[in-house]
Amino acid sequence: MIGNDLNPSGSQPPEDAPDVATLKADIDKWKSLSRVNEKRWNAASAELDSLRKEHSTAVDLHREYARRLAQAEMKAQAAMSGIALSDGFLSLLDCSKLIDEGGDPSADAIALVLTQFRAAQEAEFTQGLGLGYHQGPLVPLNTFSLDARNR
């Protein structure tokens, strides 16, 4: 016999070689396992996406409340120091810089911001000068009594 297309040498296949039905059964088995794994992967990916969305929403909410807490803390410290802050200033201020790594308001950062206002409030010169009669320290005080009874 001259060789066929599947076996060009003309020899017979080994006897322990699987037949076509067994090979098709293996192919079907692996296809079904692949589909099952793909469904599991899609379900796990969808669950992961939903958890990421929930987590990002929680993180955004935490950041927003941390900013509000930092604003409230700044207002409280300013009030204790006697500094009047306008709401417009607080709305322009980036309060995320006033929050530490733990998400709590940083007292050091708030104090640093308020020191600028404290320095502006403290006057460098005496504010009473020029308001009416002022006897400065250069005018010598009378060392003797002008009272006629004591002469």
Q: Tell me: the pLDDT tens digits for 25-62?
A: 999 999 999 999 999 999 999 999 999 888 888 888 88
Length of the chain equals 151
pLDDT digits (tens, 9 = 90+) for 53-62: 888 888 888 8
CA–CA distance, 33 with 36 (Å, rounded to integer): 5
Question: In 3-state terms, what secondary structure has residue 97?
Answer: helix
For the question of whether the overall pTM of this predicted structure is more than 0.75, the answer is no
